[in-house]
Amino acid sequence: MADNPTLAPLKAAENASSGARIEIGLNAAIVAVEDPTPLILVVGGCDPSGEPESLPYGPFDPLTHRTFEIGLRSWVAEQAALKLGHVEQLYTFGDRGRHTLQQRDSAPHVVSVGYLALTRPEPQAQLGFAREGANWRSWYAYFPWEDWRAGRPAVLDQTILPLLREWAAEPPAAGAPMRALGRIERLRLSFGVDGPPWDEERALDRYELLYEAGLAMEARRDERPAALRRDEIPALGRPMRFDHRRILATAISRLRAKLKYRPVVFELMPDTFTLTELQRTVEAISGRHLHKQNFRRLVEKTALVEPTGATSDRTGGRPAALFRFRREVLLERPAPGLRFGSAGA
């Protein structure tokens, strides 16, 4: 699990008793939505070494940057030529072995502060790249089981759930950490098996269960026992460098939850938009299909948008009314979000 975000214990960069050195890095899950796909900015993945893609990351320089967020915005603007909108801290990721497998490696231990950052779509010619080595990619390329917009993903019943049921039926290995819930209970809650509905906000829980069961490629790379016991690891989404797929899953869970109580979706929208474009953006992020009329009634009830008086024909068919976000809603009530129910409701 992710560590507590508080970094007070890390003020000492070197532990005098053990000689362990700690460096603080910043990771950014930068999200945009286009046509209508949730895109994540990734770097690397094309060098001869065969290293997979990673989230943008860089060091925190306390001599140059007064805060973590200032440092994050600075090197993202420099490396990716992007101006970020909404930015918030996710967690601090500091597990041993995040960046190396050698137990006696003398390299510093890297503790990363993960961030979720949103940016508005640019024209397609600009959105396709940032700088050399950086690309936009659908986040469902890394988590294909999370996209329910066209129905239940086949990979769940064909591959994931049969293998997880087998793993859940096995007794935990000797010395395995104690958990509040057993494997079967965690499988039920995370993947909506045998009773509870699928909860789109549990993206992190699902990835961590796949990793623990040895079904993520990163688990084999990290030499986890469950993965080493398997003759073959199924291709369940694109792997990422270090623990960056875990950080991305954390960002997806956070953003999906936040849609329901804060108007963050408008950080991903242009200044004016149609209700169809708004619905498709919400569907892209949540990974689920929403009933058109119910969605429009919800938007009307929450009073999050107002008409501009103009129309657009960019969606095809009859011209559609254009709307804008009502920023006054932030002063009218404390939790102005789109409170659609769970996917199974």
pLDDT greater than 50 at residue 20:
yes
Work out the pLDDT band at 95, boundaries 50, 70, 90.
Answer: confident
- Cβ proximity of 115 and 89 under 8 Å: yes
pLDDT given for residue 96 in this prediction: 64
Q: Is the pLDDT of residue 32 over 90?
A: yes
Quick one: pLDDT at residue 8? 35
The answer, yes or no, to whether residue 1 has pLDDT greater than 80, is: no
Cα–Cα dist 268/71, whole Å: 22
pLDDT value at 59 more than 50: yes
pLDDT digits 0-9 by tens, 271-307: 999 999 999 999 999 999 999 999 999 999 999 999 9
% of the chain surpassing 70 pLDDT: 84
- Torsion sign (Cα): 94, 258, 118, 198: positive
Helix (H, G, I), strand (E, B) or coil at 226: helix
Residue-level pLDDT at 10 = 38
SS (H, E, C) 254-277: HHHHHCCCCCHHHHCCCCCECHHH
pLDDT band at 106 (very low <50, low <70, confident <90, very high): low
Residues in the chain: 345
Q: What is the pLDDT of residue 22?
A: 83
Q: Where are the alpha helices (DSSP H) in the chain?
A: 68-80, 124-127, 154-155, 161-169, 183-191, 203-212, 217-221, 225-228, 244-258, 275-286, 292-302, 329-332
Q: Which of 249, 242, 236, 29 is nearest to 136 (CA)?
A: 29
Structure tokens at 83: 């101006």
Among candidate residues 156, 153, 190, 147, the one with its CA nearest the CA of residue 287:
147
Q: Is the separation of the CB atoms in 12 and 100 below 8 Å?
A: no
**148: its two tokens:** 């329910």
Q: Dmax of the chain from CA atoms?
A: 72
State pLDDT tens for residues 116-136.
Answer: 999 986 644 344 444 557 889
In the chain, count H helices and then E strands. Answer: 12, 9
**Residues 190-225: tens digit of each pLDDT:** 999 987 899 999 999 999 999 999 999 999 999 999
**Which of 45-49, 174-178, 339-343 has maximum average pLDDT?**
174-178
Supply 34's token pair: 């286009």
Average pLDDT over residues 69-95: 83
The pLDDT value given to residue 127: 47
What is the structure's pLDDT at 338?
A: 85
- Greatest mean pLDDT among 74-83, 105-114, 270-279: 270-279
Q: Distance (Å, rounded) from C-alpha 191 to C-alpha 164?
A: 10
- On the question of pLDDT at 62 being above 90, the answer is no
Q: Please, what is the average pLDDT of the chain?
A: 84
Q: What are phi and psi of 215, to 5 degrees?
A: -105, 5
User: pLDDT: is 223 or 330 the higher one?
Assistant: 223
pLDDT at 152: 96
Rounded mean pLDDT, 21-31: 89
Q: What is the pLDDT of residues 145-175, one digit of tens each?
A: 999 999 999 999 999 999 999 999 998 877 7
Q: For residue 157, give both structure tokens.
A: 């019943």
pLDDT at 162: 98
- What pLDDT score was predicted for residue 131? 52
